[in-house]
Amino acid sequence: MNRRHASQIYCEACGTAITAEARDARYCLECDRYVCAGCWSAPSARCRECSVQRMAGEAPRRGGSASLRTARRADRRLREATRGAVNLAAGMEPPGGDARIEHACLTLKAASSQQVGVRALGRLTGARAAQAGALGDRIRRHALAASATLARADAALTGTEIRGTPFATAAVPIANPDDAALREHYGAELHGFALLLTLGDQSAAARLTADALKAGALRAVERRHPERTAAWLRQFVLREASQPTLHSGAIAPPGGRAALHALRVDASAFAALSALNMRERAAIVSTTIERLPPPDVATIVGLDGARLERLLREGLRRAMSAGAAERRPGPDGPIVRRTREIATRVLA
């Protein structure tokens, strides 16, 4: 089934046909609806109907109370997304009858809830911020639970296994993180990113990961947008990996292929990654494998808009050509399958 067609939904406000993906659909935390961009109020981060109702029918509220209320609602929506994903993973029929659509919607719901919850808590100051620490911990746990459960549901729907893969939706940022806290929440996936970026250079990947986590802890106060922590750490890794003093990544290091085999990188995927320069590799890994949103990818590689599209298009074309030359008989591995899906959409 064509995945883009399978994820088609309709705006619950105006009925316009959209796709259940972040670039086409929006999720409103207040009314639990999926709407199109035209029915969305970006300044208030909710659908236009909820935005108008709040402005017209409610008295002004203190910012701290409103932010706490929003964060609690985000936490509740994350738990709802997890329950829905559990049902999908168990093979239960979703309300609409199409499991792929339901999975796409739940993924959007979890991502939106996580982002809104983090922003709401970030607006708190002083005593309110300290009191909300437990709520922040709950949001973090529930976001990770939603991510893991959605990954299991996706594996169940596609008939693949996810054991051994280090990739998942980026964890919810934590307030005032230190080196140990960053390592706990970002270390495994950041190390996987560094390994792919350096084509399996284990010593370089370990050093890059450690340096990025240390720098991230030291610069925590300087970061104005904590929801971009995962992207900032990868940007650091890419910048340091591109230095001439480190392995350039242009040629695979000895033992690199074996190191990446643990990440389920087969010969075709290894050839595809080897055909790219460092920046292209970072863009394609963060897009096709880690599934980070476009703003994060733009932060990592330092490009956005048409320039980022061109980088992805040219890199995917070269990667798919190199991967096809190394393809062995039999089914593609998970990384090649995911890259092929993205390439089909981008190169269309």
Of 48-62, 208-222, 255-269, the poorest mean pLDDT is in 48-62
Contact partners, residue 254, CB within 8 Å, separation at least 6: none
Q: How far apart are CA 99 and CA 101, in angstroms?
A: 5
| pTM for this predicted structure | 0.50
pLDDT of residue 218: 64
pLDDT of residue 150: 84
Average pLDDT, the chain: 76
Given a cut of 50, whether residue 236 has pLDDT beyond it is: yes
Q: How far apart are CA 296 and CA 5, in angstroms?
A: 26
pLDDT level of residue 64 (50, 70, 90 thresholds): low
83-130 pLDDT tens trace: 998 888 887 877 767 888 888 899 889 888 988 888 888 888 777 777
Higher pLDDT, 243 or 106: 106
Q: At residue 272, what is the residue type?
A: A
What is the mean predicted confidence (pLDDT) over 139-164?
73
Contact partners, residue 137, CB within 8 Å, separation at least 6: none
pLDDT level of residue 347 (50, 70, 90 thresholds): very low
Given a cut of 70, whether residue 254 has pLDDT beyond it is: no
Contact partners, residue 253, CB within 8 Å, separation at least 6: 198, 199, 200, 201, 204, 247
Given a cut of 90, whether residue 202 has pLDDT beyond it is: no
Structure-block tokens of residue 213:
């986590």
Q: How far apart are CA 323 and CA 209, in angstroms?
A: 27
Given a cut of 90, whether residue 212 has pLDDT beyond it is: no
pLDDT of residue 60: 43
What is the mean predicted confidence (pLDDT) over 159-179?
49
pLDDT of residue 104: 87
Q: Which of 262-271, 287-296, 318-327 has the highest mean pLDDT?
A: 287-296
Q: At what angle do helices 229-241 and 294-301 cross, to 10 degrees?
A: 30
pLDDT of residue 139: 85
- b/e for 223-249, b at 16 or more Cβ within 10 A? eeebbbbbbbbbbbbbebbeeeeebbb
C-beta of residue 14 within 8 angstroms of C-beta of residue 37: no
pLDDT of residue 77: 93
Q: Residue 132: what are its φ and ψ, rounded to 5°?
A: -85, 5
Higher pLDDT, 70 or 187: 70
> What is the maximal distance between C-alpha atoms in the chain?
66
Q: How far apart are CA 341 and CA 4, in angstroms?
A: 10
pLDDT of residue 222: 47
Task: Write out the chain in H/E/C secondary structure.
Answer: CCHHHHCEEECCCCCCEEECCCCCEEEECCCCEEEEHHHEECCCCEEHHHHHHHHHHCCCCCHHHHHHHHHHHHHHHHHHHHHHHHHHHCCCCCCCCCHHHHHHHHHHHHHHHHHHHHHHHHCCCHHHHHHCHHHHHHHHHHHHHHHHHHHHHHHHHHCCCCCCCCCCCCCCCCCCCCHHHHHHHHHHHHHHHHHHHCCCCHHHHHHHHHHHHHHHHHCHHHCCCHHHHHHHHHHHHHHHHCCCCCCCCCCCCCCHHHHHHCCCCCHHHHHHHHCCCHHHHHHHHHHHHCCCCHHHHHHHHCCCHHHHHHHHHHHHHHHHHHHHHCCCCCCCCHHHHHHHHHHHHHHC
> How many other C-beta atoms are found inside a 10 Å radius of the C-beta of residue 71?
25
Given a cut of 70, whether residue 305 has pLDDT beyond it is: yes
Structure-block tokens of residue 237:
């890794």
